Amino acid sequence: MHSDPKPDDTPAVSNLFAPYEPRQPGLSPLTFPADVRIDGATEHDSEGIISLLTQRNGTPRAEAAPMVARWLTLAPQEHALLVARSEQIIVGYARVAWVKSQPDAEFHHVPEGWYLLGMVVAPAWRRRGIGAALTRRRLEWIGCRAKRAYYFANSLNQASIDLHAQLGFRPIQHDFRFSGSHFSGGGKGILFAVDLSEDNLPTSHTPSRELVPAPKIAENLLKSGGSSAVRAGDS
CB atoms within 10 A of CB 135: 25
CA-to-CA separations, 145 to 12, 97, 204, in angstroms, rounded: 39, 12, 17
Q: Does residue 22 sit within a domain?
A: no
Q: Is 137 within 8 Å of 206 (Cβ atoms)?
A: yes
Structural domain for 166, as ranges: 35-205
Q: Does residue 234 sit within a domain?
A: no
Q: Report the CATH number at residue 50.
A: 3.40.630.30
Whole-number pLDDT of residue 232: 36
Contacts of 51 (CB under 8 A, 6+ apart): 90
Q: Does residue 54 sit within a domain?
A: yes
Q: Is 153 within 8 Å of 170 (Cβ atoms)?
A: no
Q: Does residue 127 sit within a domain?
A: yes
Helix segments in 58-200, DSSP class H: 61-73, 130-143, 158-166
Specify the pTM.
0.75
Q: Is 180 within 8 Å of 3 (Cβ atoms)?
A: yes
For the chain, the domain total comes to 1
Whole-number pLDDT of residue 54: 93
Residue 20, helix vs strand vs coil: coil
Whole-number pLDDT of residue 101: 86
Q: Does residue 226 sit within a domain?
A: no
Q: Does residue 30 sit within a domain?
A: no
Facing residues of 80 across strands? 96
Q: Does residue 2 sit within a domain?
A: no
Whole-number pLDDT of residue 103: 83
DSSP-derived secondary structure letter, 6 = S
Q: Can you give the pLDDT of all 235 residues of the chain as single tens digits?
A: 433 333 333 333 334 455 555 554 554 556 788 899 999 999 999 999 999 999 987 889 999 999 999 999 999 889 999 999 998 899 999 999 999 988 888 888 999 999 999 899 999 998 899 999 999 999 999 999 999 999 999 999 998 999 999 999 999 999 999 988 888 888 999 999 999 976 555 555 455 444 433 333 223 223 323 333 333 334 4
